[in-house]
Amino acid sequence: MTELLSDPAVKAGLAVVVLLVVSAVALQMVLRFRDSTREDPDITADALSNLEEMRLKGELSEEEFRTIQSASSRGDQS
């Protein structure tokens, strides 16, 4: 068995296998992280009504409200 592991071709093959396994695990972790951060929070009807109240109280400008509202409607379409 030690003779087999001393062969350079076997060492190179094992190194490649280890590299592939580590790469697959890293790729899986990256994909999971990207999926969890890619999801945009949806602006619900309650949130929009709260924003409307803020706009009516003057806490939010008309332009800010329209920007948020248009961003929300674009998110619903995709």
Q: What is the DSSP letter of 58?
A: T
pLDDT tens column, 19-78: 999 999 999 999 888 876 665 556 677 888 888 899 999 998 999 888 888 877 765 554
The per-residue pLDDT for 18 is 97
DSSP state for residue 78 in the 8-state scheme: -
For 39: left if phi > 0, alpha if psi spans -120 to 50, otherwise beta; the answer is beta
Residue 13: pLDDT band by 50, 70, 90 thresholds?
Answer: very high
Q: 40 and 16 in contact (C-beta within 8 Å)?
A: no
Give me the DSSP letters along 30-55. Answer: HHHHHHHHHPPPP--HHHHHHHHHHH
